[in-house]
């Protein structure tokens, strides 16, 4: 008995086995991806123009961030920069699936969401630069893109902090009976926050028209999902009796199809869903992340599933576009992004007086000094 | 005028505002079926129904945040905390979200929400149920903070808070809910946020006291009047924005000041008011400003220690004696 206890003591370790390359050299994906939809665009109700536009939108998000990363590395702007690269099928598929007046809120990895929800590349880049022409007038920066007019309620910087806000937006929609659906996106790290439990409990109890969508990209900052969270993420819904699904987030058609079905169900029944969208981020958690927690081989495995390459190949394979037309779109996007950089560089910083604006509704509030 | 209990005055404010704006709803623990833990919301479920009177689970962080999201999306929630001692669990939502979302989105979002409930100590509730949070929340830009002392202030200020487009923390005291006072019955009676009141005129010393401490100051002033010391009591009513002009004006008259504050001394309201007084009225002071606060300890349970812990009228009298060099 004593011997066994001693052995156990020696074996005690609080870090469960991670993911990626295992000792046997086998590549294990951080998350197992469910199969993508087999449906083609027509049976999904998408026109050829829609598919082209989806490609355009996704490529814009990618190129915008690649250039933003370059500018950040050149020291053109500061702050955090959490890149969305690899996850673009989720933002694009969702925005296509939802109505224009459905509400979307997300966490700090928000550039893609902003761009596909009406933040122009110019306003987005200017926000990164902290310029007054930015979507949040230079007050929010990378983590706080917002376009409330277009029902994009912004990126939020406290992990899990925006989950009740999304639920409150859904609460107000139910109160007003306006049939709007709220999509509240969070990262896999946020599922470990206690507030998620509080909110899922209330949301199911009150029948809030809200989709809680976890973008499981395999890592909460640098901690692989199996090291930070027990069980399967989508299974947490079971404890609340909440409808749930696991979705392949590397395929825009799949995201579109599933989000459309789920949104329709939410709209009809006013009951929430909890979904896990499995995906992968190509870059570090933020620009300061050396990514020592994963291997190049793992990254390469996922890059084979790249959502933008996938839709590009679909366009070519189905004779929707020729290669030169793809090139043309890519050139146009490149021009758009470069114009956005010029715009950001040439824009003014906010006036010093702007420091005191937007704290309170009143302009003449007696601020303490 | 009508004589109302403090809780009735608050209820009247909520009722009158709910009657004229469909977007106002009340959310919190036991606010509906139970008729309110302190009966503040009694009868409102019958009148407004379960859509507008919403019982929550004991999940302060979650329901505070749902209220904030609902305010962002066009409603005007009144979120009741059974006490602000429990609202610490919701501090992330109030401090990190309600106060900041307007600023960080460049003015795109308004958060017209009221968080209300009892603040500070009640009888012998020991360490976790006796903390005053007004100064803590007032520390954060974007929040307005009110801690009222009398039924009429409660009604007028709560109506203003509900109509305000900023997040407002409205604090009460469970020990004052039964307190009666004359309350205006005027249609559309409101009191502007940020305006203090001279609650007692006097020429010898200014005592600044808000919330429950107003009543301690009043008791001290009555005692001192017997000794021919006339105390002027200023109740700032609103902690933020603070009516420092009214305080300074009074000090220019009396030349002496005592601040009575139910917070702990370090970083509390008394320190801020004391600083502002020396900046604005240094040349008018005939004595250093004194403060009467809680000691820098948590609340004890034992009756004798608890009484010692709370600011008392005797401590206020001692402080007045110090600034007037009487004793």
Taking contacts as CB-CB distances below 8 angstroms, the residues of chain B near A362 are 166
Calpha distance A8→A12 (Å, rounded)? 6
Residue A263 pLDDT > 90, yes or no?
yes
Chain A residue closest to B113 (CA)?
Answer: A168
Residue A26 clears pLDDT 60, i.e. is over it: no
For residue B139, pLDDT beyond 50: yes
> What's the 3-state SS for chain A?
CHHHHHHHHHHCCCCCCCCEECCCCCEECCCCCCCCCCCCCCCCCCCHHHHHHHHHHHHHHHHHHHHHHHHHHCCCCCCCCCCCCCCHHHHHHHHHHCCCCCEEEECCCCHHHHHHCCCCHHHHHHHHCCCCCCCCCCCCHHHHCCEHHHCEEEECCCCCCCHHHHHHHHHHHHHHCCCCCEEEEEEHHHHHCHHHHHHHHHHHHHCCCEEEEEEECCEECCEEHHHHCCCCHHHHHHHHCCEEEEEECCCHHHHHHHHHHHHHHHHHHCCCEEEEEECCCCCCCCCCCCCCCCCHHHHHHHHCCCHHHHHHHHHHHCCCCCHHHHHHHHHHHHHHHHHHHHHHHHCCCCCHHHHHCCCCCCCCCCCCC
In the sheet that holds B24-28, the strands lie side by side as B53-55, B24-28, B76-80, B114-118, B168-172, B144-147, B238-240
Chosen from B104, B109, B166 to mutate, greatest number of chain A CBs within 10 A: B104
The residue of A360, A363, A364, A366 whose CB has the most chain B CBs within 10 angstroms, and thus the best one to mutate to test that interface, is A360
What ipTM does this complex have? 0.95
Q: Are A90 and A281 in contact (CB under 8 A)?
A: no
Give the C-alpha separation, A129 to A64, whole Å: 13
What's the pLDDT score for residue A20?
42
Tell me the average pLDDT across B150-161: 98
Question: A18 falls in which pLDDT band (50, 70, 90)?
Answer: very low
Instruction: State the virtual CA torsion across B213, B60, A109, A253 in degrees, nearest 10.
Output: -150
pLDDT band at A27 (very low <50, low <70, confident <90, very high): low
Q: Are A262 and A273 in contact (CB under 8 A)?
A: yes
pLDDT digits (tens, 9 = 90+) for A89-116: 999 999 999 999 999 999 999 999 999 9
Nearest to A180 by CA among A222, A146, A209, A207: A209
Mean pLDDT score of chain A = 92
Over residues B121-129, the mean pLDDT reads 93
Task: Assign A231 a pLDDT band (cuts: 50, 70, 90).
Answer: confident
Q: Span A172-191, mean pLDDT?
A: 97
**pLDDT interval class at B255 (50, 70, 90):** very high
Quick check: A130 pLDDT over 90? yes
Q: Do A170 and B69 touch (CB under 8 A)?
A: yes
Computed over every residue of chain B, the mean pLDDT equals: 97
Question: Which tens digit of pLDDT belongs to each residue from B298-311?
Answer: 999 999 999 999 99
In the residue annotation, B129 being an active-site residue is answered as yes
Q: pTM here?
A: 0.95
**Taking each helix axis from N to C terminus, what angle separates A48-73 and A121-128, rounded to the nearest 10 degrees?**
20
Looking at residues A347-352, what average pLDDT do you find?
A: 97
Extract the tokens encoding A360: 């309170």
Could you tell me what percent of chain A has a pLDDT over 70? 92
Question: Does the structure show a pLDDT above 90 at B266?
Answer: yes
Min Cα distance A72 → chain B (Å) is 21
Whether residue A193 has pLDDT greater than 50? yes
Q: What is the pLDDT of residue A4?
A: 60
For residues A175 and A18, the model is more confident at A175
**Mean pLDDT of all residues in A291-309:** 90
State the catalytic residue, choosing from B8, B17, B29, B60.
Answer: B60
**Which residues of chain B neighbour A135 with C-beta distances below 8 Å?**
106
* Cα distances (Å, whole numbers) of residue A146 to A9, A166, A188, A349, B67: 51, 14, 22, 18, 20
B60 is catalytic: yes
Are residues A77 and A347 in contact, defined by beta-carbon separation less than 8 angstroms? no
List chain A residues with CB under 8 Å of B145: none
Please compute the mean of the pLDDT values over residues B99-106 and round it to a whole number. Answer: 97
Find the range with the poorest average confidence among A13-17, B182-186, B309-313: A13-17
**Which of A138, A169, A194 has the CB atom closest to B72's CB atom?**
A169
Residue in chain B nearest A158 by alpha carbon? B96
Band (A298; pLDDT cuts 50, 70, 90):
confident
By Cβ distance, the residue of A137, A202, A367 closest to B62 is A202
Answer yes or no: do B103 and A146 touch at CB < 8 A. no
**Which of A149, A158, A361 has the CB atom closest to B110's CB atom?**
A361
State the best of B69, B139, B140, B271 to mutate against chain A, taking most chain A CBs within 10 Å.
Answer: B69
Task: Please give the pLDDT value at position A22.
Answer: 43
pLDDT tier at A23, thresholds 50, 70, 90: very low
């Amino acid at each position: 008995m004593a011997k066994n206890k001693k052995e156990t003591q020696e074996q005690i370790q609080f870090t469960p086995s991670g993911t990626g390359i295992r000792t046997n050299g086998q590549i294990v994906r951080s998350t197992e991806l469910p199969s993508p939809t087999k449906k083609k665009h027509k049976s999904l109700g998408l026109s050829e123009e829609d598919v082209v536009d989806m490609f355009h939108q996704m490529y814009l998000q990618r190129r915008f961030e690649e250039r933003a990363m370059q500018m950040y590395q050149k020291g053109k702007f500061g702050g955090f920069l959490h890149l969305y690269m690899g996850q673009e099928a989720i933002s694009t598929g969702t925005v296509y699936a939802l109505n224009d007046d459905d509400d979307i809120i997300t966490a700090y990895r928000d550039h893609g969401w902003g761009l596909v929800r009406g933040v122009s590349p110019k306003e987005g880049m200017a926000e990164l630069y902290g310029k007054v022409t930015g979507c949040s007038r230079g007050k929010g920066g990378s983590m706080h893109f917002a376009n409330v007019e277009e029902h994009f309620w912004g990126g939020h910087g406290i992990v899990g902090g925006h989950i009740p806000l999304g639920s409150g937006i859904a609460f107000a929609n139910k109160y007003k009976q306006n049939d709007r659906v709220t999509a509240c996106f969070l990262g896999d790290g946020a599922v470990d926050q206690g507030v998620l439990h509080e909110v899922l409990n209330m949301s199911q109890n009150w029948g809030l028209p809200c989709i809680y969508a976890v973008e499981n990209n395999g890592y909460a900052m640098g901690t692989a999902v199996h090291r930070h969270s027990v069980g399967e993420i989508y299974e947490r819904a079971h404890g609340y009796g909440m409808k749930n699904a696991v979705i392949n987030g590397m395929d825009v058609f799949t995201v579109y199809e599933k989000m459309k079905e789920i949104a329709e169900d939410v709209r009809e029944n006013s009951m929430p869903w909890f979904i896990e969208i499995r995906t992968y981020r190509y870059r570090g958690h933020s620009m300061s992340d050396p990514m020592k927690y994963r291997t190049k081989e793992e990254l390469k495995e996922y890059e084979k599933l790249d959502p933008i390459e996938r839709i590009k190949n679909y366009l070519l394979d189905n004779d929707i576009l020729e290669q030169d037309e793809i090139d043309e779109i890519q050139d146009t996007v490149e021009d758009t992004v470069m114009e956005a950089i010029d715009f950001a560089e040439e824009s003014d910083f906010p006036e010093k007086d702007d420091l005191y604006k937007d704290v309170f509704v009143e302009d003449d509030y007696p601020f303490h000094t | 005028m009508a004589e109302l209990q403090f809780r009735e005055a608050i209820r009247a404010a909520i009722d009158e505002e709910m009657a004229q704006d469909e977007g106002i709803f009340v959310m919190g623990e036991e606010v509906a079926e139970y008729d309110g833990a302190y009966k503040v919301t009694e009868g409102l479920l019958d009148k407004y129904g379960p859509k507008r009177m919403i019982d929550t689970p004991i999940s302060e962080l979650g329901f505070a945040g749902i209220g904030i999201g609902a305010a962002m999306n066009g409603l005007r929630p009144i979120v009741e905390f059974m006490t602000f001692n429990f609202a610490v669990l919701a501090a992330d939502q109030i401090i990190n979200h309600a106060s900041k979302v307007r600023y960080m989105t460049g003015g795109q979002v308004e958060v017209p929400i009221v968080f209300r409930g009892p603040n500070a100590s009640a009888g012998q509730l020991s360490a976790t149920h006796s903390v005053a949070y007004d100064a803590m929340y007032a520390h954060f830009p974007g929040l307005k903070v009110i801690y009222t002392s009398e039924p009429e202030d409660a009604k007028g200020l709560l109506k203003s808070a509900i109509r305000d487009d900023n997040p407002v923390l409205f604090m009460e005291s469970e020990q004052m809910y039964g307190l009666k006072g004359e309350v205006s019955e005027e249609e559309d009676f409101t009191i502007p946020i940020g305006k203090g009141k001279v609650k007692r005129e006097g020429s010898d010393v200014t005592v600044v006291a808000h919330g429950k401490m107003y009543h301690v100051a009043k008791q001290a002033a009555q005692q001192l009047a017997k000794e021919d010391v006339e105390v002027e009591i200023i109740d700032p009513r609103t902690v933020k924005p603070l009516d420092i002009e009214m305080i300074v004006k009074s000090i220019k008259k009396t030349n002496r000041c005592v601040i009575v504050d139910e917070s702990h001394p370090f970083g509390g309201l008394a320190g801020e008011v004391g600083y502002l007084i020396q900046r604005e009225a240094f040349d008018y002071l005939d004595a250093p400003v004194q403060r009467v606060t809680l000691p820098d300890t948590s609340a004890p349970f034992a009756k004798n220690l608890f009484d010692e812990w709370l600011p008392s009228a005797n401590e206020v009298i001692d402080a007045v004696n110090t600034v007037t060099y009487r004793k």
